[in-house]
Amino acid sequence: MTPVATLELRPGKERSLQRRHPWIYAGAVAHVIGRPAPGDLVRVVGADQRFLAWAAFSPESTIRARAWSFLEHEIPDDAWLSARVAASVARRAHLTRRTDAIRLVFGEADSLPGLIVDRYADQLVVQLMAAGVDARREAIVDALVTATGASRVYERSDAASRQREGLPSREGALRGAVPVAAVDIIEDGVRYQVDVVRGHKTGFYIDQRDNRRRLAQLAAGKRVLNCFCYTGGFSLAALSAGAAAAWSIDSSAEALAVAKTQQVLNSIDSPAHWIQGDVFDALKRFAADGQRFDLIVLDPPKFAPSVQHLDRATRAYKQLSLAALRLLEPDGRLLTFSCSGAVSVDLFQKVVAGAVIDARVDAQMLERLAAGEDHPVSMTHPEGEYLKGLLLARL
């Protein structure tokens, strides 16, 4: 791809690029020399005209450009893009020993800003969330097919971030036919079914793989409560590992129907209670009935899509944690999560600590929890760390 324009930054705004942070905000741009279209490759220079990066232009976004490369000799053409995709796929190859559901590309962390690619068995699902990757859709799909050998690629570019890029929502088959049935996957010996067309995110919460395994390690003989269970990933992992029983709550009857089907697929005979309803109301009913649990999982949806929602989100996280701690048996374990990028690790820990104080219980933080290694965080782009969690023990 040939650069068609130059972005000249304001004095002093070059520092983040010199530190290899990939985002260039609109306020940092002094001049756009040329007439780049959305997604076009642009040369980024400082006020002194020194080269800083090759980037993809996005005129509608507050992130005016996203850097592809910080090396002047490394112009990101299709061959470069193909090599970058192949390297990202290769870094995850060892995970196939545990699962056939893997995040193959994680945006900025893999130096492919705005690109998300998940693999479910022989089905790839892509999300093109920024103007640069959207403009190079065909080259990206070709590179993915070459790197993986997969013949089916489905697009789920339906997140709100596309609107901020001035891009319409797009869904449909890019290679092969539209999936008409759920895709069967295996993770740590447990079978799941993934609806890549209508399911949450790209169909499954791949990012919680290691945390499902951690729960399974604790589950034998335990009573488990899984809140916001979706299709029951945590519940099935615990039951397959010998949990005595599991109670799972979600607002979606459709998701719970999938969970029940997966219970049968895994030949699970232990009691599994699938409850449709509001989690906050259900926790109140459990408390009123005197129910107690040995293991509780709180994995709510994104409460803070932006910093403007932080106050409301922290109140909700605290309310959930407080209710769960009061339902937890002594020596019980709580796994609590936030997938809100606007909520920092430190803030989340402070909110949960506040819940511990208000619950008037003693608790220890045993571990910090995070997304699996196929969701890495670039050391120069800490904004990529969205999933954080805590494993607590009630004393």
Tell me the catalytic residues.
339
Please state, in angstroms and rounded to a whole number, the distance separating the CA atoms of residues 22 and 24.
7
Please state, in angstroms and rounded to a whole number, the distance separating the CA atoms of residues 391 and 187.
21
Please state, in angstroms and rounded to a whole number, the distance separating the CA atoms of residues 266 and 296.
22
Secondary structure class of 321 (helix, strand, coil): helix
271's CB contacts (< 8 A; 6+ apart) are: 244, 245, 246
Q: Which residue has the tokens 């690790």?
A: 345
Q: Give, in order, the Cα–Cα distances in Å from 316 to each of 179, 190, 310, 353.
A: 36, 32, 10, 14
Q: Which residue has the tokens 């990028």?
A: 341
76's CB contacts (< 8 A; 6+ apart) are: 1, 41, 54, 68, 69, 84
- Identity (one letter) of the amino acid at 93? A
DSSP character at residue 237: H
352's CB contacts (< 8 A; 6+ apart) are: 317, 318, 321, 336, 390, 392
Please state, in angstroms and rounded to a whole number, the distance separating the CA atoms of residues 197 and 26.
34
Please state, in angstroms and rounded to a whole number, the distance separating the CA atoms of residues 373 and 211.
12
